[in-house]
């Protein structure tokens, strides 16, 4: 690709050129037919922005507050696994990029840098994402380490009792490296004769018995607020409120778990309506443009999480790439706000977008 990237999508090509095929496929791939993977992005294109004109937009304020933390924009870095496969500095580079852009970083349970390394690298606000292992003492220890090292919240991923079938990883015989967070606790180097070692790792460690009553156990071992990630229905949103979570992340795991699950933007509003403002709702899945951020906020999200786009920036240019990707999205979002007649994130309302369903009703 000639010249510097001018949008986030162009970072994907730079990442493809930088990474071994096995790792590029790992980051980009989805489950099975990858229908949901495609729909996560395509569904945004079916939402139309309805701008307001003749509004004084000489000053735009993108800042917001997330669980009490002031941040420069309604953008968080999604917790994604094994950043050292993308760049030798791994999650430390990602955290520094987040700090420079004044956005919150989600650190993955499956990170290749330790909790302590990331915490000491910079002053970014950090949330810690967890899976619950069969050995719950290990999960409890990880939660305590995050709390001790100044993390601001726990993100419980709830959609992974088993790993989705990621066929590119199976073909490539994807290798699961030893993860430093678990050294001396449990081996994360699994070998499978059926393909993906990542799948073997998940099967050997993840607790498939995890259910709603276990939220009480998690609350008993930490004082940190708990966000539940992986909610796609109003029914589960209501259950999440009942068990006392501090927030909900609408997510289909980047379309890496259940193929033909709905695109997240298509169910965001359903979840928001079910929650009725009792806790903040965050959005994860398919964000590639500032207009996508605007659309998610108009449909009720408090903020969006950015996953693959950050990985592409990290793979292409390390910490600088992370900063460039976040800044591109912030710049696009600010422009969208101005052109839509919104001076602050609170000005973005449901009336600023029209969904496919809304257009259908209007034609009736």
Residues of the binding site for glyoxylate: 26, 131, 166, 253, 256
Residues sharing a CB contact under 8 Å with residue 318, sequence separation 6 or more, in sequence order: 87, 89, 93
- Taking the alpha carbons at both ends of the chain, their separation in whole angstroms is 46
Residue 3 phi/psi, 5° resolution? 75, 175
Half-sphere exposure of 308 (CA within 13 A, CB side): 30
Residue 253: active-site member: yes
* Rounded-to-integer distance, Cα 294 and Cα 194, Å: 43
* Rounded-to-integer distance, Cα 66 and Cα 148, Å: 20
Q: How far is CA 169 from CA 9, 23, 27, 43, 253, in A?
A: 22, 9, 10, 26, 16
Residues sharing a CB contact under 8 Å with residue 34, sequence separation 6 or more, in sequence order: 255, 259
Kindly state the tokens that stand for 272.
């928001």
* Rounded-to-integer distance, Cα 88 and Cα 97, Å: 15
Which residues carry a binding-site annotation?
A: 26, 79-81, 108, 129, 131, 157, 166, 229, 251, 253, 256, 284-288, 307-308
* Rounded-to-integer distance, Cα 284 and Cα 268, Å: 10
Which residues carry a binding-site annotation for FMN?
A: 79-81, 108, 129, 157, 229, 251, 284-288, 307-308
Could you say which of 83, 87, 253, 352 is catalytic? 253
Residues sharing a CB contact under 8 Å with residue 357, sequence separation 6 or more, in sequence order: none
Kindly state the tokens that stand for 361.
């009703």
Active site residues: 253
């Amino acid at each position: 690709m000639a010249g510097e990237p001018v949008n986030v999508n162009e970072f994907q090509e730079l990442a493809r050129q930088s990474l071994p095929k096995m790792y590029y496929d790992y980051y980009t791939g989805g489950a099975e037919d990858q229908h949901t993977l495609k729909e996560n992005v395509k569904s945004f294109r079916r939402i139309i922005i309805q701008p307001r004109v003749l509004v004084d937009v000489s000053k735009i304020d993108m800042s917001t507050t997330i669980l009490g933390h002031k941040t420069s924009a309604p953008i968080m870095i999604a917790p994604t696994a094994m950043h050292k496969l993308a760049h030798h500095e791994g999650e430390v580079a990602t955290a520094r990029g987040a700090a420079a852009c004044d956005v919150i970083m989600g650190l993955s349970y499956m990170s290749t840098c330790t909790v302590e390394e990331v915490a000491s690298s910079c002053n970014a606000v950090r949330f810690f994402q967890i899976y619950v292992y069969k050995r719950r003492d290990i999960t409890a220890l990880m939660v305590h380490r995050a709390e001790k090292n100044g993390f601001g919240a726990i993100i419980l991923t709830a959609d992974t009792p088993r790993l989705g079938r990621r066929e590119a990883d199976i073909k490539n015989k994807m290798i699961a490296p030893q993860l430093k967070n678990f050294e001396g606790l449990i081996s994360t180097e699994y070998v499978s004769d059926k393909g993906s070692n990542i799948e073997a790792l998940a099967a050997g460690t993840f607790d498939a018995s995890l259910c709603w009553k276990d939220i009480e156990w998690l609350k008993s071992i930490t004082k940190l607020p708990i966000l539940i990630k992986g909610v796609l229905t109003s029914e589960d949103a209501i259950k999440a409120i009942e068990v006392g979570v501090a927030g909900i992340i609408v997510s289909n795991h980047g379309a890496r778990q259940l193929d033909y699950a709905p695109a997240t933007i298509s169910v965001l509003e359903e979840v928001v309506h079910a929650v009725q403002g009792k806790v903040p709702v965050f959005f994860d899945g398919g964000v590639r443009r500032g207009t996508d951020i605007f659309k998610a906020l108009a449909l009720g999200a408090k903020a969006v999480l950015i996953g693959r786009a950050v990985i592409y920036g990290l793979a292409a240019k390390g910490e600088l790439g992370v900063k460039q990707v976040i800044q591109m999205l912030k710049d696009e979002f600010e422009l969208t706000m101005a052109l839509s007649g919104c001076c602050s994130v609170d000005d973005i309302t449901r009336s600023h977008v029209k969904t496919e369903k809304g257009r259908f009703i209007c034609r009736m």
